[in-house]
Chains A and B, each alone.
Chain A
């Protein structure tokens, strides 16, 4: 017990030497004297990077060998994305060295990294939907005829040959728009592979694809491995990691924690390395659930997104919904709110069946939502704080269609005080506020509709620690008053500390329920991946 507790807190350099399994130590030592190790494709040491004074990465390291699939693991905010962006030349490191194939590099653009044989497949897909698959693959490096004309026939033949080699069943002549998300992801992967890079970074390549495509992808990865390509494989899905990777590096809170071979470690141990021991920094909230049913959802389905979702939420309860990206949590929440379609499912509120076909149905049944992306779907950024706060409840502030300006002003000022929204005036445009204060405006708007049930989709995404605490305090008080909260979050500590019960989504289904002492970080990660 004492030993693991020191893992996270010990100095990283010590941790490295103490913790790497014996096999790796000997390797490290033997490589030390040989600078031009032919097998070592990439070596990064002591990489750090801060954004506006806030450190995102303190000590990033990795050693990638030829023919290896190396898993880079870590939770949200572990610094993986920053680290990868530095490797790709998208950010410049504040300190540290990156060595590629034996020489020290300082990339200042992705083009330089690409030229050196490093390619990345990112989570965000960027296809040109109305161009063909072949055109997408050779975008910006089209084979030419007579110097001016794109050689479409060659493009298509090359793309078809590439797919045949990788075993992908995709027609290179169709438009990207006609493909499924999974196929688009495979095309992006093929595009990166077609650059014939010897270092390939894959960031969550299976997050958008099904089991079948994943199997195809893994077969392709193995054949690349045989050709001597080194792959950095980033994923939250531990099952994938254990089936495809051979070695691992773990980051936590911006620091390198441990590296080694996967044969020397089991799943539980890897989870505990990723999670750490000291993350539960928040006092768990005491349950205020009354046991009286508030809302009961049964058989919710939207084919391809989520299936057979049933849940009961009691008065005074905060129910957590946890799951990886693309597990169908947000899609379910939007369907419940009437903001997205559903194929099947019924809802009862306080025992009475209700039909929710639109957001206004939801609002009149006492349901409000804090959407996942406050800029995209939450706020009217061009309008003022005041207009945003009262937007969903204008009928309460109007007579015969005319808005009662004084009533609005008094009410908005009360909300600004209640949520401690930092703004010089209620009439300032809401886009001039910080992220945390914008989020409080969204909460204030929900409160204005006097809901009994609040759906919060990632309620603290991108806001600072202080604002987070205020959001938690609000949710807690809201539930304590006999209301119900459905809290969707991918922040494990947050959901553990605030939810009475947690339902875990995996690939569109509820994989299990965790409660009380059984609700641990390890159990959540285990169920979700």
Chain B
């Protein structure tokens, strides 16, 4: 009898374990699908191709930032400055493509990415070389980059952007919005990098155990530096797309964007202590945030409530993650 009991308990335990494994692997995807189905029934327009494209376009900016943030958080760091850096790169790009004689949009593109990378390099140097905590460095940069933005633009929007430049935010290739295509390229490159390259292995090792990584001969400081550099460059890319989409460069753009990017990473289950996570889950995290705001917009829920709901989802996602880790 006692044997029977143990066997049953063992089988139940094994089943629970299997369910746990399934949930930890596909739970976030499952949540997304459930959410998607609910919204499809809740509002008739949700599934229209126009609306879905709209969601994807909205998601691309946060998605690009969240991919950079995944690299940073995988190394065990954080970057709070990206909303401000995004605004700065936006006005820099905007200033190059406005007026009677605008530059080629390619120049604006490289200027935005370059300025972003420069600020990322500054963060990365202080964090990796001088061991200043990432939270502090990027919190300072959040303020400095915003100030630089206001200074550069005199606090005023930069209007009349050239149509060629605006195409980067508003155009389509084969019916797909350009920002979505850029986002897709960034996502695939990031996925391949993290999964199949030596550099990707280094990112995970540095975040998982920096001492062990160092003992294994990995240039840990360079790896940490590179994550902030990449984050900055992607913030520049996102800043350029946002400017091109909104038709004028706004110095107050990007307020709070760092929080949405972190939220996407965290909802995707990437560990804030580093070493565990994936851009695939970050993508789903970004899609969840995008779909929820879109759905709530469609249903006419006030943006005040939306903020409360979004915050609650982040906390619940991490809570589920924690309880799962505590009862393996």
Given the complex of chains A and B, what is the CA–CA distance between A363 and B208 in angstroms? 21
Given the complex of chains A and B, what is the CA–CA distance between A37 and B212 in angstroms? 56
- Which partner residue on chain B sits nearest A337 by CB separation? B215
- Which residues of chain A have C-beta atoms less than 8 A from B199's C-beta? 401
Contact assessment for B196 and A380 in the assembled complex, using a CB-CB cutoff below 8 Å: no
Whole-angstrom distance from the CB of A428 to the nearest CB of chain B?
Answer: 12
Contact assessment for B215 and A381 in the assembled complex, using a CB-CB cutoff below 8 Å: no
Given the complex of chains A and B, what is the CA–CA distance between A362 and B212 in angstroms? 14
Contact assessment for A402 and B211 in the assembled complex, using a CB-CB cutoff below 8 Å: no
Contact assessment for B212 and A380 in the assembled complex, using a CB-CB cutoff below 8 Å: yes
Contact assessment for B275 and A383 in the assembled complex, using a CB-CB cutoff below 8 Å: yes
- Which partner residue on chain B sits nearest A430 by CB separation? B208
Within 8 A of B (CB), among A362-378: 362-364, 369, 371, 376-378
Contact assessment for A369 and B208 in the assembled complex, using a CB-CB cutoff below 8 Å: no
Whole-angstrom distance from the CB of B202 to the nearest CB of chain A?
Answer: 8
A339 within 8 A of B: yes
Contact assessment for B209 and A379 in the assembled complex, using a CB-CB cutoff below 8 Å: yes
- Which partner residue on chain A sits nearest B205 by CB separation? A380
Given the complex of chains A and B, what is the CA–CA distance between A347 and B219 in angstroms? 22
Per the CB 8 Å criterion, the residue count for chain B at the interface is: 24
B197 within 8 A of A: yes
Given the complex of chains A and B, what is the CA–CA distance between A401 and B219 in angstroms? 15
Given the complex of chains A and B, what is the CA–CA distance between A334 and B217 in angstroms? 13
Residue in contact with B212 in the complex, picked from A379, A395, A401, CB distance below 8 Å: A379
Residue in contact with B213 in the complex, picked from A363, A391, A402, CB distance below 8 Å: A391
Whole-angstrom distance from the CB of A434 to the nearest CB of chain B?
Answer: 16
Given the complex of chains A and B, what is the CA–CA distance between A449 and B196 in angstroms? 20
Within 8 A of A (CB), among B273-302: 275-276
Whole-angstrom distance from the CB of A149 to the nearest CB of chain B?
Answer: 32
Given the complex of chains A and B, what is the CA–CA distance between A378 and B197 in angstroms? 22
Whole-angstrom distance from the CB of B71 to the nearest CB of chain A?
Answer: 16
Contact assessment for A402 and B196 in the assembled complex, using a CB-CB cutoff below 8 Å: yes
Contact assessment for B216 and A387 in the assembled complex, using a CB-CB cutoff below 8 Å: no
A398 within 8 A of B: yes
Given the complex of chains A and B, what is the CA–CA distance between A369 and B197 in angstroms? 25
Contact assessment for A378 and B204 in the assembled complex, using a CB-CB cutoff below 8 Å: no
Given the complex of chains A and B, what is the CA–CA distance between A401 and B196 in angstroms? 8
- Which residues of chain A have C-beta atoms less than 8 A from B214's C-beta? 339, 359
Given the complex of chains A and B, what is the CA–CA distance between A393 and B218 in angstroms? 10
- Which partner residue on chain B sits nearest A369 by CB separation? B215
Contact assessment for B215 and A387 in the assembled complex, using a CB-CB cutoff below 8 Å: no
Contact assessment for A445 and B209 in the assembled complex, using a CB-CB cutoff below 8 Å: no
Query: A345-372 interface mask toward B, CB cutoff 8 Å, 1 = contact, 0 = none?
Result: 0000000000000111011100001010
Contact assessment for A377 and B211 in the assembled complex, using a CB-CB cutoff below 8 Å: yes
Indicate whether A392 sits within 8 Å of B211 (C-beta atoms), given known contacts A383-B275, A401-B198: no
Whole-angstrom distance from the CB of B206 to the nearest CB of chain A?
Answer: 9
B75 within 8 A of A: no
A403 within 8 A of B: yes
Indicate whether A401 sits within 8 Å of B197 (C-beta atoms), given known contacts A360-B217, A371-B215, A382-B271: yes
Within 8 A of A (CB), among B187-241: 196-202, 204-205, 207-209, 211-219
A53 within 8 A of B: no
Given the complex of chains A and B, what is the CA–CA distance between A394 and B206 in angstroms? 14
Indicate whether A378 sits within 8 Å of B212 (C-beta atoms), given known contacts A360-B217, A383-B205, A391-B205: yes
Contact assessment for B205 and A387 in the assembled complex, using a CB-CB cutoff below 8 Å: yes
Whole-angstrom distance from the CB of B28 to the nearest CB of chain A?
Answer: 18
- Which residues of chain B have C-beta atoms less than 8 A from A392's C-beta? 215-217
- Which residues of chain B have C-beta atoms less than 8 A from A358's C-beta? 217
A405 within 8 A of B: yes
Residue in contact with B217 in the complex, picked from A359, A377, A381, A387, CB distance below 8 Å: A359
Residue in contact with A380 in the complex, picked from B197, B208, B217, B271, CB distance below 8 Å: B208
Contact assessment for B213 and A380 in the assembled complex, using a CB-CB cutoff below 8 Å: yes
Residue in contact with A377 in the complex, picked from B205, B208, B215, B275, CB distance below 8 Å: B215
- Which residues of chain B have C-beta atoms less than 8 A from A383's C-beta? 204-205, 208, 275
Contact assessment for A391 and B216 in the assembled complex, using a CB-CB cutoff below 8 Å: yes
Indicate whether A380 sits within 8 Å of B204 (C-beta atoms), given known contacts A402-B196, A402-B197: yes
Whole-angstrom distance from the CB of A470 to the nearest CB of chain B?
Answer: 22
- Which residues of chain B have C-beta atoms less than 8 A from A339's C-beta? 214-215
Residue in contact with A445 in the complex, picked from B196, B216, B275, CB distance below 8 Å: B216
Whole-angstrom distance from the CB of B25 to the nearest CB of chain A?
Answer: 12
Within 8 A of A (CB), among B230-275: 271, 275
Given the complex of chains A and B, what is the CA–CA distance between A337 and B211 in angstroms? 13
Contact assessment for B198 and A398 in the assembled complex, using a CB-CB cutoff below 8 Å: yes
Within 8 A of B (CB), among A295-352: 337, 339
- Which partner residue on chain A sits nearest B217 by CB separation? A360
Whole-angstrom distance from the CB of B210 to the nearest CB of chain A?
Answer: 9
Contact assessment for B217 and A403 in the assembled complex, using a CB-CB cutoff below 8 Å: no
Whole-angstrom distance from the CB of A201 to the nearest CB of chain B?
Answer: 33
Given the complex of chains A and B, what is the CA–CA distance between A358 and B217 in angstroms? 8
Query: B6-47 interface mask toward A, CB cutoff 8 Å, 1 = contact, 0 = none?
Result: 000000000000000000000000000000000000000000
Q: List 5 A-B contacts (CB under 8 A).
A: A360-B219, A379-B212, A381-B208, A387-B205, A401-B198
Beyond known contacts A359-B215, A379-B209, A391-B205: 16 more, CB 8 A cutoff: A337-B215, A363-B216, A369-B215, A377-B211, A377-B212, A377-B215, A380-B204, A380-B209, A380-B212, A382-B207, A387-B204, A394-B202, A398-B197, A401-B198, A403-B198, A405-B196
